[in-house]
């Protein structure tokens, strides 16, 4: 029996998801819907399901008979598309951010709960093989962790490239979510305080620095530069080891008293597909089949949106 998967959206991320799912044995690409019907047709033809383009989400559900739908639409369309999709009892995998700000994310999550829908957040950096390798090594360590996340954002560039003004005004949700989400799974226990070191100034966005304290004893440090040079980087330090993700798709480890960084091997899927998406696709299929999945529900993903809100008050 094939697993039927449909897609809402026909942009770059939708295509990346299609590539990943089309590689999984037993998966049938059963439908696609986009407000721009011609783009849906082009994408469906490219991946050999040209007769499965539909003109509404309702038609997509009824005719595709899918058990899983991938929602990959622009930020300002996410709420409307999610609320319409939640009318039907398929499993949903929704591209981040789920809502262009925290208030929208709360409303979308409430609707999913009200309708008792199974909805996953496509936080694909959790699915990177580099991330999973670091988490695997951390399992055996009970030592306190210092988690340092360095973020760099270019909202001026985003605006000039055609991003809507409302999205750019909430750019921390649209893009910093990629980085801030690392605190949600690297830090253990509950967050007990979020303390600004350098406060966010929306009128003059430049530098941000925040200390995050967990009841487990772990500490997070978030630093960001806006419209200035800097890398995306994550480090986790214990008394015995220090792991670094820089770039995020690659991982190195440094032992205590050593100056050398040792590379951690990443899997071939992250070389063949957009990193994290092939593993994420398999886990989404498991979820749709009622099996245990390593993906994060939107209720859990909402914690990251809340943390963004706390940092960028």
Tell me how far apart the alpha carbons of residues 255 and 130 are, in angstroms, rounded to a whole number. 17
Calculate mean pLDDT across residues 95-104: 97
* Structural domains for the chain: 3-125 (3.40.50.720), 128-266+298-311 (3.30.360.10)
- Provide the whole-model pTM: 0.96
Other Cβ atoms less than 10 A from the Cβ of 258: the count is 11
Q: What is the reported pLDDT for 2?
A: 87
228-266 pLDDT, tens digit each = 999 999 999 999 999 999 999 999 999 999 999 999 999
Q: How far apart are CA 107 and CA 39, in angstroms?
A: 29
Please give the Cα distance from 153 to 230 (Å, whole number). Answer: 9
Dist CA 33 CA 23 (whole Å): 21
Residue-wise pLDDT for 255-300, tens only, equals: 999 999 999 999 999 999 999 999 999 999 999 999 999 999 999 9
């Amino acid at each position: 029996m094939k697993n039927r998967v449909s897609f809402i959206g026909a942009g770059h991320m939708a295509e990346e998801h299609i590539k990943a799912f089309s590689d999984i044995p037993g998966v049938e690409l059963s439908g696609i819907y986009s407000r721009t019907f011609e783009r849906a047709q082009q994408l469906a033809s490219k991946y050999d399901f040209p007769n499965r383009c539909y003109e509404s989400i309702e038609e997509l559900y009824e005719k595709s008979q899918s058990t899983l739908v991938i929602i990959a639409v622009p930020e300002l369309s996410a709420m409307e598309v999610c609320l319409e999709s939640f009318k039907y009892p398929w499993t949903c995998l929704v591209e981040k951010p789920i809502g262009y700000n925290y208030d929208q994310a709360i409303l979308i999550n409430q609707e999913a709960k009200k309708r008792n829908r199974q909805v996953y957040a496509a936080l694909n950096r959790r699915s990177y093989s580099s991330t999973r390798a670091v988490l695997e090594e951390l399992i055996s360590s009970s030592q306190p962790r210092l988690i340092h996340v360095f973020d760099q954002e270019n909202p001026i560039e985003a605006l000039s490239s055609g991003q809507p003004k409302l999205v750019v005004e909430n750019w921390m949700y649209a893009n910093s979510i990629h980085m801030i989400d690392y605190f949600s799974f690297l830090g253990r226990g509950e967050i007990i305080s979020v303390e600004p070191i350098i406060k966010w100034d929306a009128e003059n966005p430049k530098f941000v620095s925040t200390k995050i304290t967990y009841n487990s004893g772990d500490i997070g440090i978030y630093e960001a530069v806006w419209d200035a040079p800097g890398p995306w980087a994550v480090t986790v330090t214990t008394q015995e080891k220090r792991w670094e993700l820089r770039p995020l798709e690659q991982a190195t480890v440094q032992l205590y008293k050593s100056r050398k960084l040792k590379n951690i091997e990443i899997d071939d899927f992250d070389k063949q597909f957009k990193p994290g998406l092939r593993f994420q696709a398999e886990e989404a299929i498991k979820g749709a089949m009622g099996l245990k999945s390593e993906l994060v529900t939107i209720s859990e993903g909402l914690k990251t949106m809340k943390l963004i809100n706390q940092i960028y008050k």
